[in-house]
Chain A
């Protein structure tokens, strides 16, 4: 496919890796966080870590929307699904996320009507097809996905679809990055910026990272050469003693973002005072809810939620994985009690989760490297 295959060339990857190696200062270790789960997936799928010098480490960040959903929110969604006449819809990724009392699949097996959709517009269509039911869309995702939910709400109002509602769980990336920067557990040298979030918010919101924290950020694309080039650009900045926001993914990300997308979010949603993130805890002004004018479409107002906090299972270390404090294989239950088929934690559920990506693509490489070293 155009704009994809060209960015997967192995020879160019090797030259980039050699350039990166030539920029390494002897004795110095480099740690870069890829904020977005899409990058985590690319890194493991294409074995990018094998190309990088050993002193350059990529740390996985909190940018996987499914992974940061706390268990209590899954229980809340199942509570909505068990109300009379309700059909709950969400993206396929959500179906296996464990809540305090099971996942959507478990609730479905127990009789709840929960369906997967590809797009929020499909949920709206379902509401039109089932006028006697109440169709609720559980919205998850960062700023990449929030405009789609917003557009669907505008369309629902325009079409007068009254049996459609949204359970809004949209989160915002900047507060999560701030929480990481303020966390004492982790020392980072720079960030790979989330390419697709940036198509919406643009590159300016990251400027505080360079200005106040003196760390470089490069907005990165999702093909292997995009990731390697972005690492190269970060290394170049460090070598030059610069800390700036740069845009490697300019073919998709406009510096100013998508004005219309930001407008429709602002028309339909507002910041919550605070929101609980799995692993990161409560972060103020880090998530979106529907504006009061949209109350008739707001599942949280239609059905008061139990909102009970559920602590993560003791064995689960998703929190540390999400903050980049430990790597997936360092978790006690990785690949044994916790696998993609029977996940304990969210990082093993979504294909963007660090544990799932590592389990699916990376675990054998590591084994081989260890065996070779012995």
Chain B
């Protein structure tokens, strides 16, 4: 965890398989949730899309007489 090593209890993640390389949410020494990479990607794509639409609009505004 940011360079700190700690033993974490994963007993609350019985519905998922976790292994090295997975990212998990930890709270007071327990893993609460496994981070869903595809959901993270979808959220970032949405944000990219919003940024793109904003830039397009700005450009259109600048180009308009």
Binding site for B on A (CB under 8 A): 1-3, 6-7, 9, 11-12, 14-16, 18-19, 91, 118-122, 141, 144-145, 147-148, 151, 196, 199-200, 225, 229, 232, 248, 250-254, 258-261, 264
Contacts and interface: CB of A to CB of B under 8 A. Distances in A.
8 contacts: A6-B44, A12-B50, A14-B54, A15-B53, A148-B27, A196-B25, A199-B32, A253-B33
B15 interface: yes
Interface string B3-15: 0000001011111
Contact of B29 (A3, A122, A253): A122
A16 B47 contact: yes
Contacts of A119: 28-30
B2 to A, nearest CB: 7
A250 B43 contact: yes
Contacts, number: 99
Given A196-B32, A250-B43, 15 more contacts: A12-B48, A12-B50, A15-B55, A19-B54, A148-B27, A148-B28, A151-B30, A199-B32, A250-B36, A251-B39, A251-B43, A252-B36, A258-B12, A258-B15, A264-B12
A11 B32 contact: no
A141 B30 CA distance: 14
A121 B29 contact: yes
Interface of B: 2, 9, 11-15, 23, 25, 27-30, 32-33, 35-37, 39-40, 42-44, 46-48, 50-51, 53-55
Contact of A258 (B9, B33, B40, B48): B33
A120 B28 CA distance: 7
A16 B50 CA distance: 7
Given A260-B12, A264-B12, A229 B47 contact: yes
Contact of B54 (A18, A120, A200, A225): A18
B51 A3 contact: no
Contacts of B23: 2-3
Contacts of B25: 196, 199, 252
Contacts of B43: 7, 229, 248, 250-251
Given A12-B47, A19-B50, A1 B12 contact: no
Contacts of A9: 47
B34 to A, nearest CB: 9
A260 B40 contact: no
B7 to A, nearest CB: 9
B55 to A, nearest CB: 8
A250 B25 CA distance: 13
B12 A261 contact: yes
A252 B25 CA distance: 7
Given A12-B47, A147-B12, A252 B27 contact: no
A195 B31 CA distance: 15
A254 B32 CA distance: 11
Contact of A120 (B29, B36, B53, B55): B29
Contacts of B28: 91, 118-120, 141, 145, 148
A258 B47 contact: no
A253 B25 CA distance: 10
A260 B29 CA distance: 16
A200 B32 CA distance: 8
Contact of A11 (B14, B33, B46, B51): B51
A148 B54 contact: no
Contacts of A19: 50, 53-54
A197 B14 CA distance: 18
Residue among B23, B27, B30, B51 with the most chain A CB within 10 A?
A: B30
A260 B48 CA distance: 35
Nearest to A261: B12
B42 A144 contact: no
Contacts of A148: 9, 27-30
